[in-house]
Structure 1
């Protein structure tokens, strides 16, 4: 295909524009690092919860092949390690949940049935003793893909207190989060013939490389619950999915290939959707990329050729539409148009793609996602400049860090809840957990995340020890305090505030003040609060502008400063290290009906005291300065507490507003101003569920004080 003269200039401009909107090399690497880290967190959490899942993030977010405007979903796959997937009878294992892969002449390509095999002897299960199984006309008991998805849906409704309307299915995914695809799976460790056939086909080509093919041979595949739309057994069928192989191929892309793929997705979302709706998916685009890279000499994959490379991808799409067939790149015999793109839609899209190629991609100038079109239509190549580009990169990096620390916070709250609600002692639980997480740290893939998890859990362990010291009136072991100092840098404030609380409750008020002053210096105005379970109730919490504002005024320091502060949580086992007013938060409800109203997430933290870090900082300052008799500083702390609570620009960081109001009311109660105290307690009740709010107890107490 002859390249128009202006394609080189356009290509260079497109390369620069993509870098300007956050599709540069640093951001791609940061996205990959973040989501690989998040999948390790999920796996560690699953193991402590008594499950045995291998967790993965696949798709655009984890590949780094997205931009803010594409609003790509988060793809999560959990592979159940408790099942043994048998390719043949020789793979049977005693004591395991054995499932035999079945395929006959009537089974569509890329589909399998899973027959249940007994765990005590290598013989088929003959009776239906499991709700997840169905019996075939020929007598085989099958593990049903559709029943699995129904089970997950039921679990979400019953255990997460969610409505059925909020649950959406998308292929093999069942999720109650609108931007997440959660896929259950089984892994197949033995090589599949489909994969070996693909490896043989690719031998001798410049791509995939020999090293990639060797790695693909030993990489496990997954079976996901998805049937062929035209199959008689589509409700029972499982589809092999070579996600890990596809991830290796995506990670082998150079930056020009990544940008070419991103542009294809922009075209798909901004242009193809207007013609045929959303029937063309990112996976179609990814498959086009695989074929294009395979058929294009490596010397052409440079930025100045970007537009001609996109044309090559569209030419492959045009040919596929002409033939009515886009073959799966790895698994032979699978047409990716089947069940996705109707014949009518294929014809309509063919006309448009042909027109687009003939007009030399002029329609790319009309893409409004991330303002791509307007940026390209500029009269000359206008680069954003290195400073602005760094700003875009840094705010996306902050968003990714926020997602990571938010998941870490959620995981720790869930672990602590399970630990505290167990029949065994908390000390036994946390010792066992530390041992298990340390074992995870021997896995190279999970080492970094496991060690960070150990740091968080060690704080909990140490605080419980110190709380017991106070409980029995023992003198603090100074070595415990010294060890605690090594775990304070998990975020800006939360563990430091806990240390200050310990020092205050033990009478070491001067030391508490020094810690609080250190926190105040660190707690700059751009710090963002992180709450694991109330993050969804605040609009715009993930808006990129929020993270852009966090960078304003801190450009000299870049991302070297700490930017996040966890909510501070005190469990019942830490009650002797907890200020008295927060003990009421551990008993929020006044009736059993109130407890019954709590949804699944609330149950995980409502029996603890949880408060935003900044209000707690000023509350502890008020208590400490008051204990030292420094009245002026105490009044300044009270004003600072009021300011951070009522500052409208800080709304996005207020997760536990009712608890902060209770602390403010308690300050006025200690001032002897019972009228103001009652006012703030009443405000607390008006802003949050009255049946699960500690203000109920405060109001009753203050009314008794007023009445004498």
Structure 2
């Protein structure tokens, strides 16, 4: 067929524009690595909690097939490997488990199953509705209802007012689709039929088909819209196979898919709203790649390949059905696109094909159309390269920030569970360390396990130091050297913990040296990260662009993040005296009752942002050394940092920072100014604030 002459130039321009807006190879690889890392982190965490379960990230974020302007949701799937046994035939029954038999007949829509309950003590069908999640079919069979299963998940979520349901998803987290699924490890005829159909083709590759043959699939709680049993039905989802197919894409295929999604969200949505999803675009990509020679998938053919994809889409719109790529008999238009909408889309796609894709210049997401026009005219390759590096590094920092936040949050949950445990803290730490060391023997989990070990080892050292100070035992150099193992966790928090221990133990000169080192590392681009509080705009891509304005991510010797410093009650003796009030921040029992589930995890400990704590320790340390000028210098630095508006979005515990600043002025004998800072602290947080104690003292 005749390829329009301008397609080659337009293809190169589109490829460069996509690189500029965050779809370059480095970013795609980093997105994939980030979400696979998060899966490993959750796997280890669940193992330590005694749960045999798996967590998966699916969708655009984990595939690396998105850009900031698409604002893609995060798709998260959880499945348990215990308790539930899925049966294809009753002979698969296992004693002591919840046995579920997959049922379907000629009237059941493709991809859908009913799950019949079998007894735990004998391989016979259950006859009693002893569970609220069971329903009885007209034939008398007792089924596990998908809708009632989602009701159970809904009731288990603490902040239920924020819960949203979207298909099989039940989530209370904005921009997250969270699906609780049941895994199926047995061979399924739908999957085997697809594998046989694909044999001998150039794509998918043979090794992928062999892996797909043994890959687990999932049953998610979602019924067919036209089914009589849509409230009871479960949908078969081959998510892992689809992810393998996406991971086999080369960069041209990834960019073609992203442009399809851009067309969908920027142009087609104006015609049919959100009826066309990224899964429709993904399916069109699968069919196009399967029918196209691999040698065509190169950068200068990008627009021609997009044109082929739209031709495939037009063909399916004319047929009135878009077949699921893997599962035979499923029409992806069902329940999504009416016949009127299909005709409307057909007219637009047909017009787009006949105009040789002129409409791509109308894509407004991330100003794709404007960028294309400018690049076609000017081809500013050098400035384009600079913009590309800026956005790539900004996205990289954002991905790392999200990883760090989730990691710290999970780590703090471990600490909270240890304090709530009937065993001693030391026993709990040893138990977790053994679990992490065991996980580190798995090559896939090793990196994450070592990160957990570093943080837990630092806590163990700090608690041991506090115990030594309680017994008035001298802290030797061996204990101090152990802290070095955790120094690279972030910019400053481990060093500040060590400086606090040295100050409390009377090693003032050593504390000053550690603080000097911490201050040098605390450059202006460091971002505070808190595991228990988020600030609006924490994940704004522009914020991370400002962080990397002087040098790229690769130019940093370490990630520019500073974690909050936390002292538990087991670290009393290596904590500055004034922070002990933070461990008893409530005046009345009523205040404790007002704490939400997140507050309960940290409000019985002292938590302070790294930079304010650095300046507070500097004030104490240089005062103890008799260096009055330095002491006053750091008091001014402390006050400037806390009171300057530009730092408000980088402080998660501003009320605590104000309390420490007030204490500095108490030590200066300026009680009026100290009282002003305590009152200011109460202005930000009137309840569960140690400032209530400090005001009383003043």
Q: Give the TM-score of the pair, scaled to structure 1.
A: 0.96
- Report the Cα offset of residue 533 of structure 1: 2.7
Give the structure 1 partner of residue 645 of structure 2.
648
Which of 602, 608, 613 aligns to 2:610? It is: 613
CA distance in 1, matches of 2:618, 2:470: 23
Does the 8 A contact of 1:228 with 1:234 survive in 2?
yes
Q: Which moved more, 1:297-306 or 1:538-547?
A: 538-547
- Report the Cα offset of residue 555 of structure 1: 4.7
- Report the Cα offset of residue 50 of structure 1: 3.7
CA distance in 2, matches of 1:174, 1:322: 35
Give the structure 2 partner of residue 465 of structure 1.
464
CA distance in 1, matches of 2:448, 2:552: 28
- Report the Cα offset of residue 556 of structure 1: 9.5
> Quick one: structure 1 residues 238 and 26, their matched pair in 2 at CA, closer, same or farther if it must change by over 3 Å?
same
Q: Following superposition of structure 1 onto structure 2, how do residues 177-188 of structure 1 map, counting pairs within 5 Å?
A: 177-188=173-184
Give the structure 1 partner of residue 333 of structure 2.
337
Give the structure 2 partner of residue 516 of structure 1.
515
Q: CA offsets, 1:440-483, max 9 Å, x none?
A: 22223212111111111111122111111111222224322212
Give the structure 1 partner of residue 424 of structure 2.
425
Does the 8 A contact of 1:394 with 1:559 survive in 2?
no
CA distance in 2, matches of 1:639, 1:253: 56
- Report the Cα offset of residue 63 of structure 1: 0.5
Give the structure 1 partner of residue 627 of structure 2.
630
Matched, 1:250 2:249: no
CA distance in 2, matches of 1:643, 1:325: 64
Matched, 1:11 2:7: no
CA distance in 1, matches of 2:404, 2:508: 31
Q: CA offsets, 1:644-686, max 9 Å, x none?
A: 1122222221111101001101111111111111110011001
The DSSP-based 3-state class of the residue aligned with 2:174 is coil
- Report the Cα offset of residue 562 of structure 1: 2.7
Does the 8 A contact of 1:591 with 1:691 survive in 2?
no
The number of aligned residues is 694
CA distance in 2, matches of 1:441, 1:186: 27
Give the structure 2 partner of residue 206 of structure 1.
202
Matched, 1:546 2:547: no
Give the structure 1 partner of residue 260 of structure 2.
264
Does the 8 A contact of 2:397 with 2:553 survive in 1?
no
Does the 8 A contact of 2:553 with 2:559 survive in 1?
no
- Report the Cα offset of residue 52 of structure 1: 2.7
Does the 8 A contact of 1:223 with 1:239 survive in 2?
yes
| Cα RMSD after superposing both structures | 1.4
> Quick one: structure 1 residues 376 and 174, their matched pair in 2 at CA, closer, same or farther if it must change by over 3 Å?
same
Give the structure 1 partner of residue 359 of structure 2.
363
CA distance in 1, matches of 2:333, 2:435: 46
Give the structure 2 partner of residue 155 of structure 1.
156
Unmatched 5+ residue regions in structure 2? none
- Report the Cα offset of residue 22 of structure 1: 1.3
Give the structure 2 partner of residue 125 of structure 1.
126
CA distance in 2, matches of 1:430, 1:402: 26
Matched, 1:591 2:588: yes
CA distance in 1, matches of 2:556, 2:132: 52
Give the structure 2 partner of residue 99 of structure 1.
100
Give the structure 2 partner of residue 694 of structure 1.
690
Q: Which moved more, 1:249-258 or 1:82-91?
A: 82-91
Does the 8 A contact of 2:488 with 2:558 survive in 1?
no
CA distance in 2, matches of 1:148, 1:458: 40
- Report the Cα offset of residue 136 of structure 1: 2.1
Give the structure 1 partner of residue 485 of structure 2.
486
Q: Give the TM-score of the pair, scaled to structure 2.
A: 0.97
Q: CA offsets, 1:168-197, max 9 Å, x none?
A: 111111111221111111111111111000
Give the structure 1 partner of residue 71 of structure 2.
71
Give the structure 2 partner of residue 706 of structure 1.
none
CA distance in 1, matches of 2:641, 2:86: 56
Q: CA offsets, 1:271-321, max 9 Å, x none?
A: 001111011001001000000000011111011111111111111111111
Q: Following superposition of structure 1 onto structure 2, how do residues 232-247 of structure 1 map, counting pairs within 5 Å?
A: 232-247=228-243
Give the structure 2 partner of residue 141 of structure 1.
142
The DSSP-based 3-state class of the residue aligned with 1:377 is helix
- Report the Cα offset of residue 39 of structure 1: 1.4
- Report the Cα offset of residue 425 of structure 1: 1.2
Give the structure 2 partner of residue 58 of structure 1.
58
Unmatched 5+ residue regions in structure 1? 703-708
- Report the Cα offset of residue 375 of structure 1: 0.9
Which of 379, 382, 391 aligns to 1:381? It is: 379
CA distance in 2, matches of 1:666, 1:366: 59
Give the structure 2 partner of residue 581 of structure 1.
578
CA distance in 2, matches of 1:132, 1:424: 36
CA distance in 2, matches of 1:556, 1:153: 40
Does the 8 A contact of 1:551 with 1:558 survive in 2?
no
CA distance in 1, matches of 2:121, 2:363: 60
CA distance in 2, matches of 1:91, 1:488: 52
Give the structure 2 partner of residue 673 of structure 1.
670
